[in-house]
Amino acid sequence: MLSINAFNTYRIPQIFDYYRPRDLREALKLLESVEGAKVVAGGTDLVVDLKYRRIEVRALIDISRLDELRFIKLEDSYVEIGSAVTIQEIVESSIAREKLPLLVEAAESLGSWQIRNLATIGGNLCTASPAADTAPPLLVYDAELELVSLRGVRTVPIEKFFTGPKRVVLERGEILRSIRIPVSRNVFGWSYIKLRRTSFDVAKASVAVLLDARDGYIVDARVALGSVAPTPVRARGVERSIVGLKIEEAARVASERVVNEISPIDDARSTAWYRLQASKTLVSDAVWRAYERLLKIGV
Amino acid sequence: MFNFIGRSFPRHDGFAKASGLAEFTFDVEVPGMLYGRIFKSPHAFARVGRVDASGAEALGAVVLTPDDVPDRLFNPRLISIEEDTFKDWRVLTKVPRYFGEPIAAVAAPTEDTAQRALEALRVDFEEVYDPVLDPFKAMSPSTRPIHERVMRGGRWIEVKNNIAAELRYSEGDLDSEEKRSSVVIERKFHASRRYHTQLEPKGAVCKLEPDGTLVVWTTTQTIHNTKILISQVYGIPMNRVDVRKVLLGGGFGSSIHTNLVTLIAVGLCLKSRKPVKLVLTREEDMVHDHVSFEFYMKVRAGATRDGSITFGELDNLIDVGAHQIQAYPILGTSLGWFVSLYKWRAVKYHGRSVYTNKVPSCAIRGYGAPEITWAVETVVDELAEELKIDPLEFRLANYRGRGEIFWGQGPTVKSIIRSDGVPELIAKGSEIIGWKRRESPRVKTGRFRRGVGVGRGFHTSGAGGPLSGAIIDYTGAVVKVNEDGSIDYITALQDHGGGTLDAHIKIIAEELKIPPGKVRVVWSGTSTTVYDVCTHASRGVFTGGEAARRAALEVKKKVLEYASRILDSVSPEALRIEYDRELSDAVIFVEGAPEKRITLSEVARVAWQRNWGSISASVSYRATVAPPSFTVYFVEVEVDMETGVIKPIRVVAGADIGTVISPELAAGQIHGGFAIGWSWTVGDEVSYLENGVPAHRMSLTDYKLPTSMDLPSDEDFIVLFASTYEPFGPFGAKGLGEAASNPVIAAVANAIYNATGIRFYEIPMTPEKILKAIKEGE
């Protein structure tokens, strides 16, 4: 039963301590030492949960203003994005626009402008919503996540990061520091498509595709989906089955095979049946659009 | 022809609203005020045992329990006459009948203390019942009664089988008309519940004056009915309740009644003897006391081979939720919409309003007309198709137009149609949309299919009529000329935000020949205004505007009298009055004697200096007709046959509103009317989980409305106004608000059929349902 009298969206109806550490090290120390502390960045998911009393917290550690987490930089073989970079900053970043057009396309479609100005890429991933818009692009980019704690640093491929709805591999005391995205020398066509109830809605289903083709045959394909499984998923079976095919055939096969790789559910936004049906079309559309973009770049 | 009417001027409240300076209920602050919170029922149907206030009181809160409020049944809506008013509400209840129904309330010096006090309240439930959610099951004799008895006017009546109200009607010889028919079509329709999603959540601020007068600022469409209800419930003389007008952030019918939050705030204020602010959060507003009616309609209709309509039958079952707001009147208006759409030669109607354990339903823009119009316009389309007659010709031959009797607001509000722009709107609209090129859905192929549909509807302008009837409908206006010739306009009539009062300003300006900028709308209250029933039924411009015009006309007569004294003319009749653009004032002069002239401002000054007295007028006005404003919408949609996603491609929206007072604001109403209708057709619905909790979980994350990005761009949305003149309206004007939304579902549904060849008899028509139907058809 919804605790109808416990929530009050005019306030955050909970009493908790709020910390704004000066640097990442202090944040990590606080995270170790403060009992029941939770990390907050943009707060676009967390604050709603606090208002609705879906979660109770005793302390929040605000990392949204830490310069160490607010950068986008281009290295030889990768782009690195700090976890507190906002979605709108990604949209407006010249590095991202040039090197990561697929991520930009997904970022542009996230929420409204107001939400994009607050929400961070780290928050989008750590909240671990199956519908997180930045997850499918990062999955197909083979992004790696750098997790830090007082004990040290470890790197986790994004495909291993999500363990279930709202669950990730972060351990106690760990913070997502940055996302490293390999920059391939190959040219890819890209496409991010999603279905939603209105223009400012969370996705019913989403697909990210990166594609390379030669002479009309697919030579490399990467496909990931959101909102159709407990976590955002990489559809490796689809990828394997379409490499070597002509585009018409590839789009058709991708559409057939995708149903084996997803396990959608009913919720307020849509039904499992619809998500399954729509995913077939979305994947085919996304493959086609990525291919058409590739042709344009090729010229 | 007109100086100001039909032209655009800055809105009187435009700067305040655009700059954020405008004050809404939420912004009202009174020194020393307490903040209120409501204890809402977590059960959809239960019986409260003990309310333990000690924990809340220990925090310093004032607690209001069901024992602290008068044990008096009421109906929060006072638009029907007393003997047709069904009463089944209490301010706070011991038997919550829907999830969210208020049981108790607290008030404390800070918002946080109020929230903690709310959480410290202990409410024991003696019994928790399984909620009754299906209206058909509700009518079974074995189902637990939601109300055993309620009051109609001053007497008790038993409620049988959870039927809140019932209405039967018949006219003509249905059997013989049916026998005569070459085609008979019977269809069932279901229109789900929708939340109003008005911009402003409900709230109230109350304070007591030292003399005991209760002052109330609240989100209401009617300050006077709010005053009367507070007076009736709490037993306070009406001159000791001053409900102040404050800007309203949209209504759409959600405050056609006095929202419960207002009465609870009053209770907290009276108990604490301190000012109290009680404003709902959006989430609370979603389960407070307003949502649309849910309709289950069965329509049967026939026509002869030559295309004339024979009979129409409507079985109308309405799920009204847990309490009555308009459970009885909606049965009459539903019948009125049905009867007044087409020239049925015989009619049979059975309407029932049924209680369920859900948020109580009330009017939402159109008051049943969008749903009835959808059902009828679908069946009419099907009849035309069956008869192989163009749907437009079929409509033109059979609709109720000029000279016909019309009773949109139900059997007690009849009048004759005198202005009718339907033929003009059909001719122009069909030309623009390219009706002649419209193809049958059977020849359409491919993934993205386009279709064009038409919907024709109307709404009344108010609920006036030649006989008194069952509905209260009159209004009033005070116009006062200041000593410098500036004008104060004092009215109780509430502007929902659509610009109704800007129309009034222009009407007054037009009558007095002074620029609209000289007229100020005074922010007043029930103590300083004469009665207005409510801004509802699209009556704001037609009825309220006419009252304003009549008050201005009286003022003009006095001005001319005084001018006649000053100019020494034989009588005021020898004078003419004109707008002088250069002087930015009205000029009064003797025809043929140019030296005999004076401005209105000078007349006002002289009347003051010579002790002639104030120039003012107070008018109370009842309209004797409620003329229909017709709307004819053509809509083109595109359906993705693989995902079921529907896009609106083009809209040609035609409206017959008589004289158009404010073209831009009227076009805005039409855009808004389409947007709300589109959301009803393809958007989200309010459905319920088995335990009676709304599936939207009180969240706009789960209950979505289309945004401007989901609607056609301005270039693809063409607004047409018919060139009509309504003899009873102010300067020929009629209403618009609801007419703008009434044909939308019908037009969109007919367009979806034209695109896909599939008819949907249930709204919302979501991509999920559309795709399912497409797959089943394959």
DSSP state string for A242-286: HTTSBHHHHHHHHHHHGGGG------SS--HHHHHHHHHHHHHHH
What pLDDT shows up at residue B415? 85
Q: Does A195 touch chain B (CB under 8 A)?
A: yes
pLDDT in tens, B49-80: 999 999 999 999 999 999 999 999 999 999 99
Say yes or no for a CB contact (<8 Å) between A4 and B42.
yes
What pLDDT shows up at residue B594? 85
Q: Does A131 touch chain B (CB under 8 A)?
A: no
Chain B residues lying within 8 Å of A271, measured CB to CB? 768
- Half-sphere exposure (CA, 13 Å, Cβ side) for A76? 0
pLDDT grade for A185, boundaries at 50, 70 and 90:
confident
What pLDDT shows up at residue B347? 98
Say yes or no for a CB contact (<8 Å) between B42 and A2.
yes
Nearest to B171 by CA among B376, B338, B329: B338
- Give me the total of CB pairs closer than 8 Å, taking one residue from chain A and one from chain B: 88
pLDDT in tens, A259-272: 999 999 999 899 99
Q: Does A77 touch chain B (CB under 8 A)?
A: no
Chain A residues lying within 8 Å of B695, measured CB to CB? 268
Task: Name the CATH topology of B474-621.
Answer: Aldehyde Oxidoreductase; domain 4 (3.30.365)
Say yes or no for a CB contact (<8 Å) between A4 and B115.
no
Chain A residues lying within 8 Å of B118, measured CB to CB? 5
pLDDT in tens, A144-164: 999 999 999 999 999 999 999
- Burial label for A47, CB within 10 Å (0-12, 13-18, 19+), is middle
Contact A197, B704 (CB under 8 A): yes
Picking from B283, B646, B681, B711 by the largest number of A CB atoms within 10 A of its own CB, the best residue to mutate is B283
Q: Does A277 touch chain B (CB under 8 A)?
A: yes
Q: Does B698 touch chain A (CB under 8 A)?
A: yes
- Domain coordinates of chain A in residue numbers? 67-182, 189-298
Those residues whose C-beta lies under 8 Å from the C-beta of residue B73, and which sit 6 or more positions away, are: B87, B88, B89, B90, B150, B151
Task: Name the CATH topology of B380-460+627-777.
Answer: Aldehyde Oxidoreductase; domain 4 (3.30.365)
pLDDT in tens, A104-129: 999 999 999 999 999 999 999 999 99
Which regions of chain A does DSSP assign to beta strands (E)? 17-19, 37-40, 59-62, 72-74, 78-82, 144-149, 152-157, 162-164, 167-168, 175-182, 189-195, 205-214, 217-226, 233-234
Q: Which positions of chain B have pLDDT values less than 70? A: none
Task: For the sheet with B155-158, list strands across it.
Answer: B86-87, B149-152, B155-158
Q: Does B689 touch chain A (CB under 8 A)?
A: no
* CATH topology agreement for domains B18-129+199-250+255-285 and B380-460+627-777: no
- Domain coordinates of chain B in residue numbers? 18-129+199-250+255-285, 380-460+627-777, 474-621
Nearest to B381 by CA among B653, B185, B145, B175: B185
What pLDDT shows up at residue B364? 97
Class of domain A67-182 (CATH, top level): alpha beta
Considering the domain delimited by B18-129+199-250+255-285, tell me its CATH architecture.
Alpha-Beta Complex (3.90)
pLDDT grade for A2, boundaries at 50, 70 and 90:
low
Tell me the residues of chain B between 92 and 121 that have a Cβ less than 8 Å away from chain A.
99-100, 111-112, 115, 118-119, 121
The domain covering A189-298 belongs, at the CATH homologous superfamily level, to CO dehydrogenase flavoprotein, C-terminal domain (3.30.390.50)
Nearest to B317 by CA among B353, B274, B271, B263: B353
Task: For the sheet with B163-171, list strands across it.
Answer: B163-171, B346-355, B309-321, B294-303, B183-191, B762-763
Query: Chain B: nearest CA to A165, how far in angstroms?
Result: 18
What pLDDT shows up at residue B411? 80
- Per-residue pLDDT at A74 exceeds 60: yes
Say yes or no for a CB contact (<8 Å) between A195 and B706.
no
What pLDDT shows up at residue A1? 40
Say yes or no for a CB contact (<8 Å) between A278 and B706.
no
Say yes or no for a CB contact (<8 Å) between A7 and B283.
yes
